[in-house]
Amino acid sequence: MTETQTIAQPKARILRQYELLELIRAYNPELNEDMINRAYVYATKMHGSQLRASGDPYYAHPVEVAGILTQLKLDEASIVTGLLHDTVEDTDATYDEIVRLFGEEVAGLVQGVTKLTQLEVTAERTTQAENLQKFVLALSKDIRVLLVKLADRLHNMRTLHFIKKHEKRVRIARETLDIYAPLANRLGMNEVRVELEDLCFFALFPMRAPLIQKAVKVAHGNRKEGVANIRQALEKRLTDSGITARVIGREKHLLSIYQKMKDKQKSFDEIMDVYGFRVIVDSVDTCYRTLG
C-alpha cells in the first residue's frame, strides 16, 4: 500500500488587522500602528483576488506569517516584511515602491526573502542540503530575513495538506526536512524545528504518522502532566542531594520516535523513552555528581 492519503483539516480563520496589532502591542507597546496598518492593507490590495490551494484568499498567508513572527516577538520591520514578503515576487509591486512606501530597511528585508524564495526554485536536486544551508546563511546578511523565511515555510507546511499533488507535497516536505528544520535548529528555534519535522512526518507518511500519534496518546495519556511530574521529582532529588540544577523536560516528537523505531527495528511498544530530560549544572564536577 502506498502512502498517498491526504490529511483533511479545517481552514484557519484569517488573523484580523486589529488582532495583529494586539499581538504586537502585547510585547511592544510603542509600536508604529500606522506602518503595520498600511502594510496590512497594501498586502491585501496587491494580492487582490489571488487564491491559495486551500481556497482562502492569498493574503491570508502573509497575514499568518506576520502572526507567527509576533510569537517570536520580532520588531516592526520584521512584521511588515512578513506582510509584504510575497508582494515583489507575486504581484505588480516593485522594490522601489516598497522603498517609497515603507523605507529601505523593510525593502531590503523583502528583497532578501525574495532571493531565498528564488533559491528554492533554482537549486538543483543534486545540491547537498548542508551546502544549501551554508549558502542560505551566507546569503542572508540580516538574520531577520531567515526568521521571516522560516515563518513563511512554517505556515506553508501547516497548510501543505491542501496541495492536491502528492509528489509536490513530498518534495516540499523533503526540502523542509533537509534545509529548514536544520536551519531552525541552528538558530536555536527548537519549537519551530520540532513542528516542521512533525508536519513533514505527516506529509511523508500520512498513514503511519496518525497511528504513532494515537499510540503515544494512549500510552501516556496526559503527557504534559507526566513530564511535569517527572521533572519535579528530579528537581526534588537533586535539591535533597545539595545539587543546584535546572531540569528541562520534553516529550519526544513523533518523527524522532518513528526514526528510532525504524533504526532499531523495534515496535512502538518496545520504544520506551518517549520523554527526554536535560539537567543543566554549573560545573563538570557537579555534572558527575548528578550522574551518580
CA distance 154 to 142: 19
Question: In angstroms, rounded to a whole number, what is the distance separating the alpha carbons of residues 39 and 101?
Answer: 9
Length of the chain: 292
Phi-psi region of 73 (alpha: psi -120 to 50; beta: other; left: phi over 0): left
Coil, strand, or helix at residue 275? strand
Cell numbers describing residue 290? 548528578
CA distance linking residue 82 with residue 113, whole number of Å: 9
Active site residue 97: no
- Residue of 56, 75, 89, 97 marked active site: 89
CB atoms within 10 A of CB 185: 15
The yes-or-no answer on residue 89 being catalytic is yes
Q: Tell me what percent of the chain is helix, strand and coil, each rounded to the nearest 5.
A: 65, 5, 30
CB-count burial class (<10 Å; 0-12, 13-18, 19+) for 150: buried
User: Catalytic: which of 56, 75, 90, 120?
Assistant: 90
Task: Tell me the catalytic residues.
Answer: 89-90
